A and B are shown apart, each in its own frame.
Chain A
Amino acid sequence: MNADHSEKEKTGRMSPTDNELMEAVRDGRVEKLAVLFERYQTMLYNFFLRLTGNRAASEDLVQEVFVRVLKYRAGYLGDSRFNVWLFQIARNAHIDHLRKQKPALSLDEQFAEAPSHEPQPDTAYENDREAELVRRALDRLPVQKREILVLFRFQNLKLREIAELMGVQVGTVKAQVHRALKDLSRIYLELQGGNVS
């Protein structure tokens, strides 16, 4: 988990860290992946749900992430944070999902494209009008901006972790977060009819 190491340091707790568990998985004790699954399945599901707005696809993507974790377990080096490695896999799974969804478009075009249609809200996902407005505003952001906001706001990744994940400088991430929030604010205002508060 994100705060896993710091919590262990603070409390002296003997629960295995994510890194220790993943090293065990890498070394053959694959049953330890169950602990990581229990720790991360909800987080990953919500990451995908906020990117795709689709529950079934999000559930499939969670499964796909853990299939890939097993597939690539031998390549886990353990010298970076587990959550960064996991979200790298999650991002790649999402990119492949986008490729399958829209094979006619290049990946860059898909990332640049904002949804041209009104999103189809899943009624259970929409609890109230405000949440619906926020979700619709988020849905109208281009995928790249949406992804960076979801990682930063909901997955509690630090700016430097997102930078590591995306292979860019921290300053670039800061600028991207700023731009994404500004765009979201503008879209939210438009959807709300001009009143943000």
Chain B
Amino acid sequence: MTCEKTQEKFADYLTGDLDETGRGEVRKHILDCGACREDLENLTVVWAKLGVLPEEQPGSAVRSRFYAMLEDYKAAQPVGSKSRWTDWLTFRRPAFAASFSAFLLLLGVGAGWFLTGARPGGEKYASLSREVQDMRQQVALSLLSKPSASDRIQGVSYSAEVANPNDTTLAALFKAVDSDPNPNVRLAAVDALYLFRDRPGVRESLVKSLSAQSYPLVQVALIDFLVEVRETRAIEALKKLIDAGELTPEVKKRAEQGLKQITV
């Protein structure tokens, strides 16, 4: 292999992205070529030296300015803008598509009443809407009690589509976070609860869960959640978690970082 071809592989060599064949070719070449060997040695040293540069955290003003900017932007958006419609009509998730289909079905029934002369008043429309919500919640609860993890994940997705879930649905989500045997269901439930973060009891429940979880990804998801909502009641739980010394290094780092973010 020529010097030029060898040097082309240096970048991948440094990051470890070169396969074994490529590494072998580089090693073989530098055994015979002193210039390339010296070149690679210098690059390896400087590559390692770059690692000593510390990562800094931006000042807290960055976060304040961002959230102020976002609030201003949201306030300037027209209410019920077109984007909400496109959002509503976007079928990205099967659960959403299914519940939307059910809504259309019930809408069809309503239209039937209308066309057959049994014209429903405002109360009937409200009743129809409640029926759709109830149906979604029933489906969600039913799926959440299934033995299959994928069914339970779909149950979580259904519950996330409920505009204003009742206490039973929320309790089912709390239970999923706390005790579902499958960590992916627990993670999905944490994400779903983010949508209902302003409902009473949601944040408290997740603060409690933080102390009980042992699966790293769920711990990180809970920390992310509580940091995003700036839940000060999580401070004590985070401190205990860090002090207990049972966290993986990644989770510990995230917990320490989260503690700083909440206390800013």
Q: Mark A residues whose CB is within 8 Å of B.
A: 11-16, 20, 23-24, 27-31, 33-35, 37-38, 41-42, 45-46, 49-50, 55, 58-59, 62-63, 66-67, 70, 125, 127-128, 130-131, 133-135, 138, 149, 152-154, 158-159, 171, 173-175, 177-178, 181-182, 184-185, 188, 196-197
Contact = CB atoms under 8 A, between A and B. Distances in A.
Interface string B66-79: 11011001100100
Given A149-B50, A181-B43, A185-B43, A41 B66 contact: yes
B188 interface: yes
Given A37-B66, A134-B49, A42 B55 contact: yes
28 contacts: A14-B153, A14-B188, A14-B191, A29-B87, A30-B73, A33-B70, A38-B227, A41-B66, A42-B58, A45-B56, A45-B57, A45-B62, A46-B55, A59-B58, A59-B61, A59-B62, A62-B58, A63-B62, A63-B69, A66-B69, A138-B53, A178-B7, A178-B43, A181-B47, A182-B39, A182-B42, A196-B42, A196-B45
Contacts of B42: 182, 185, 196
Interface of B: 7-12, 14-15, 17, 39, 42-43, 45-47, 49-50, 52-59, 61-63, 65-67, 69-70, 73-74, 77, 81-84, 86-87, 90, 92, 153, 156, 184, 187-188, 191, 217, 221, 224, 227-228
B131 to A, nearest CB: 26
A42 B53 contact: no
> Interface SS of chain B: helix, strand, loop or mixed?
helix
A109 B174 CA distance: 59
A59 B247 CA distance: 32
Nearest to A156: B15
Contacts of B58: 41-42, 45, 58-59, 62
A174 B11 contact: yes
A36 to B, nearest CB: 10
B31 to A, nearest CB: 20
A15 B42 CA distance: 42
Contacts of B69: 63, 66-67, 70
A20 B45 CA distance: 39
A159 B56 contact: no
A66 B66 contact: yes
B184 A12 contact: yes
Nearest to A33: B70
A46 B12 contact: no
A20 B74 CA distance: 19
Q: Which of B9, B63, B156 has the most CB of A within 10 A?
A: B63
B62 A41 contact: yes
A153 B55 CA distance: 12
B11 A178 contact: yes
Nearest to B194: A35
A176 to B, nearest CB: 9
Contact of A159 (B12, B45, B90): B12
B2 to A, nearest CB: 14
A15 B221 contact: yes
Most B C-beta atoms less than 10 A away, residue of A12, A29, A158: A12
A59 B67 CA distance: 14
Given A46-B56, A66-B70, A70-B70, 20 more contacts: A11-B217, A14-B156, A15-B187, A15-B221, A23-B92, A28-B81, A28-B83, A28-B87, A30-B77, A37-B70, A42-B58, A55-B56, A58-B58, A59-B59, A62-B58, A152-B15, A153-B47, A154-B50, A174-B8, A181-B46
A50 B74 contact: no
Nearest to A71: B73
A177 B87 contact: no
Contacts of B46: 181, 184-185, 188, 196
Contacts of B84: 28
Contact of B53 (A16, A29, A50, A58): A50
